[in-house]
Amino acid sequence: MIIDRLYESVAEKGVVCVGLDTSIDYIPEEVIKRFSSISDAIFEFNKRIVDATHDIVACYKIQIAYYEAFGIEGLIAYKKTIKYIKERNSLVIADVKRGDISKTAEMYAKAHFEGDFESDFITLNPYMGMDSIKPYLSYVRDKEKGLFILIRTSNEGAYDIQYIKDYNKNTVYKIVGDKIKDLGKEYMGKCGYSSIGGVVGCTHSDEAKDIRGNLDNMFFLIPGYGAQGGRVEDVVRYLKHGNGGIVNSSRNILLAYKKHDNENAFDVYARQEALSMREAINDAVKAYKD
């Protein structure tokens, strides 16, 4: 199961997941000037980030919207970035948040688990119903792929729908989490977690203990750290003995060079930021008392 590879990567390298949400204005002018195409400039930036961090981070998450915004040029960079990460023997999460049914979902599954955009994991939105997840399950079962499904997100708008309660006073996000947990039981890895994981933002930490306890065999993709306000104290509540989840950081790592005078060394500062984040989380894990 692909989840065993991710679990082992966390055990070896720590919980940091680098988000390659590469906006063009994140790229130093010196890099942009060297290339005649947007795709080459974006890929060069990503390549240097990957080269500088692949030995100290668990995986990479690529938010496809940043690439789609530049049309074909952007998608070329997206394709090349996925391929390069795999060449460095690292894992790729395609943050595509697809959520549709029937034949459309089958085509999304084919697009992101086969061919030019083939990734190890993809993110899905389940709020159209559980039948929107089914077309991806054959890839989880037969093709060594994994899913991270939205449960409770890190944005303020999460309260609009995810916190609505039913007649038993269960929140929508808890109901969704329970359904995903049940679905994931058929895809358990040796590590004790399922290849069907959940996205749980760390910016709302009040209910963290209940979420982790209820979804005990679910591996978490944890966004919201750093630029969105999530703290190490929030993160550790979703982990189990320093594993069981990955913590995504995009802007804090990609833009770490802006705290310094030398933008040509953006990859060096990205590595330093990733190491600092990893150490801060490790320290918090050691200090955390349930």
97 is catalytic: yes
Neighbours of 46 (CB within 10 A): 24
Closest CA to 194 of 155, 224, 221: 221
Q: Which helix (H) or strand (E) holds 17?
A: strand 16-19
User: What would the two tokens of residue 219 be?
Assistant: 């591996």
CB 215 within 8 A of CB 255: no
Q: Element (H or E) spanning 40, and its range?
A: helix 38-53
Instruction: Reduce the DSSP state of residue 119 to 3 states and report it.
Output: coil
47, 83, 97, 179: which is the annotated catalytic residue? 97
CA-based torsion, 99, 24, 249, 201: positive or negative: negative
Q: Which of 278, 198, 204 is nearest to 244 (CA)?
A: 198
- Residues whose CB is less than 8 angstroms from the CB of residue 182 and which lie 6 or more positions away in sequence, other chains included: none
d(CA 260, CA 258): 5
For residues 3 and 83, what is the distance between their CA atoms, to the nearest angstrom?
Answer: 20
Residue 59, beta-bridge partner list? 17, 91
Find where tokens 């399922």 sit. Answer: 194
Any idea which residues carry the catalytic annotation?
A: 97
